[in-house]
Structure 1
Amino acid sequence: MSPIPSTTLFVTGAAAGIGRAVAERFLAAGWFVGLYDVDEAGLQALQQRWGPERCVSARLDVSAADDWRAALSGFAAATGGRLDVLFNNAGIAVTQPFEEADLARHHRLIDINLKGLVNGCHLAFPLLQRTPGSRVINMCSASALYGQPELGTYSASKAAVRSLTEALDIEWRRHGIRVVDVLPLFVNTAMVTDEVSRMKTVATLGVRLGPDDVAATVWRLATAPAASLPVHSCVGWQTKLFALLSKLSPGFMNRLVTARMAGY
């Protein structure tokens, strides 16, 4: 029988990009990691690299509650019911003028980016509650600071993630659970390359972050003393600057800057 892991991480969207970088950062540090994605081939390659004694993997469509139940059940069986950190990372983007994108794409984005995160937090709660010092780290975005043209539904989903993070961090402290999020700007992942890169804002600001930059922030949020954690962590100097300006600048100025960067 394998020993019960002492530190555990559950990652959605783990097959590539930010999810994979985070998973490998924690695996390299000796954590036991649950790898979950709809990309089963990507998961298999990652598990073969690290070995079944270091990680467990399964297909997970985060929008499906039954998928969550099955994934969490398998994870709990492998960890003795321990869940130290839930990293809600899975997400997609729609980058088009709002009315030009199919309504089904908008709905699917909300199902994954928001409903999927709600599913995860709700269904993982019993494991989190039983694990002393547990944490939830939600993947947010700089687009939550001000709605982005041609990225409207994505921005809305991330603004909702930001609000849910704030609410749950207040609610769940009585259970000993911290809930925080990370807000990067554009990250060099397939989602940005294949979808988001068509935006003029990307050409204006560039892509200055890689998955490892986000993984470093997630690692800090997972390992620093719980009392010291900020609810929101901006990744990269650009995001930190925009977050500061959004607080200090009047609303019309934030709107003007956002519009100009996007070419409107």
Structure 2
Amino acid sequence: MHSIFISGAAQGIGAAIATLFYQRGYKVGIYDINLPAAQTLAQNLGAWAKAGLLDVSDYGQWQQALSEFHAWAGEINVLVNNAGILYSGTFEQTDIAAHHRTIDINVKGMLNGCHAALPYLQQASFARVINLSSASAIYGQPDLVSYSASKFAVRGLTEALDIEWQKYGIRVLDVMPLFVQTAMVKDMDAGSIQNMGVHLSADDVALQVYQQVQVKDTIFTPTHHPVGIKSKILFSLSKVSPQFVNRMSNIFLAKRNK
């Protein structure tokens, strides 16, 4: 019976991932800064779900949480770095503390998780890491500056570790959804969401994560996985379009409606 450890798993995409993997026969670690919500979800799922406290920006909490879950589950097969936050609005009108917090959670949180989890992943019979990136990592997004930058960091870290950890037999992959129907995008102040809309559900992303865990590892297995038709189109076009075309397209997409 394989196990999965998910950060930010008490609600939204994380909860959808936890629910799907539980239904598919995994032992599930539901770790979140909101412990009561994590415990409620674990109780609703059943005996093979375990909840715990985790502030992803705190490396010590990662060490404690992973040790606790490993002792309970027996091994850790899948790490999902899902925890993340988003602040929208113009760069200069967003408090600097909000920009710093975005990096602390979205970037340092993933760094902490991968670094602390490696010893457990190395011991496992099968191991894979799935990081939650974003279509905002395809081209820098106005009104989502620090969020977009954080997801570019996730993209780069995923690519680098996917190569570096090949020596351990561990694939490091990411999923790149556009905007997802969760509390994180509620009342978001960004022109891109007005123009692109919010069409993906948390279940859509969870299914993609599950597929990336199950996919056979070959030299042709891609590291990045756009979620939804719009993300797939943007990702594909970005690889072939001239830079000025990508820039002009994003200026158009970010234009605010009057």
TM-score by length of 2: 0.96
1:22 is matched with which residue?
17
Identity of aligned residues (%): 49
**Cα offsets for 1:161-214 (capped at 9, x unmatched):** 1011000010101101000000000000100114x3x21211111111000110
1:65 is matched with which residue?
59
Question: Quick one: distance in 1 between partners of 2:221 and 2:48?
Answer: 27
1:157 is matched with which residue?
150
Residues paired across the two proteins, number: 255
2:198 is matched with which residue?
207
Report if aligned partners of 1:209, 1:236 keep a CA contact under 8 Å in 2. yes
Report if aligned partners of 1:221, 1:229 keep a CA contact under 8 Å in 2. no
Alpha-carbon RMSD across the aligned residues, in angstroms, is 1.1
**For residue 133 of structure 1, what is the amino acid of its counterpart?**
F
Question: Quick one: distance in 1 between partners of 2:165 and 2:192?
Answer: 37
Is residue 128 of structure 1 aligned with residue 128 of structure 2? no
- Alignment match of 1:74 (pick from 68, 74, 80): 68
1:3 is matched with which residue?
none
| Structure 1 spans left out of the alignment, 5+ residues | 1-5
Shift of 1:132: 2.5
Question: Quick one: distance in 1 between partners of 2:87 and 2:194?
Answer: 17
**For residue 6 of structure 2, what is the amino acid of its counterpart?**
V
**For residue 37 of structure 1, what is the amino acid of its counterpart?**
D
Question: Quick one: distance in 1 between partners of 2:208 and 2:42?
Answer: 23
Secondary structure at 1:183's aligned position in 2?
strand
Shift of 1:100: 0.9
Secondary structure at 1:35's aligned position in 2?
strand
Is the deviation greater in 209-218 or in 42-51? Answer: 42-51
Report if aligned partners of 1:135, 1:178 keep a CA contact under 8 Å in 2. yes
Secondary structure at 2:76's aligned position in 1?
coil
**Cα offsets for 1:74-119 (capped at 9, x unmatched):** 1011012x11110000000110111111111110110000000000
Question: Deviating runs (4+, > 6 A) in structure 1?
Answer: none
TM-score by length of 1: 0.94
Q: How does 1:195-234 map to 2 (within 5 A)?
A: 196=188, 198-227=189-218, 229-234=221-226
Secondary structure at 2:151's aligned position in 1?
helix
Secondary structure at 1:226's aligned position in 2?
coil
Shift of 1:36: 0.6
**For residue 246 of structure 2, what is the amino acid of its counterpart?**
N
Question: Quick one: distance in 1 between partners of 2:36 and 2:251?
Answer: 40
Question: Quick one: distance in 2 between partners of 1:263 and 1:59?
Answer: 40
1:140 is matched with which residue?
133
Report if aligned partners of 1:186, 1:207 keep a CA contact under 8 Å in 2. yes
2:81 is matched with which residue?
88
Report if aligned partners of 1:201, 1:262 keep a CA contact under 8 Å in 2. yes
| Structure 2 spans left out of the alignment, 5+ residues | none
**For residue 172 of structure 1, what is the amino acid of its counterpart?**
W
Shift of 1:245: 1.2
Question: Quick one: distance in 2 between partners of 1:30 and 1:166?
Answer: 29
Is residue 238 of structure 1 aligned with residue 230 of structure 2? yes
Shift of 1:41: 2.0
Is the deviation greater in 143-152 or in 254-263? Answer: 254-263
**For residue 14 of structure 1, what is the amino acid of its counterpart?**
A
Secondary structure at 1:9's aligned position in 2?
strand
**Cα offsets for 1:191-246 (capped at 9, x unmatched):** 0114x3x2121111111100011011000011121226320000000000001111
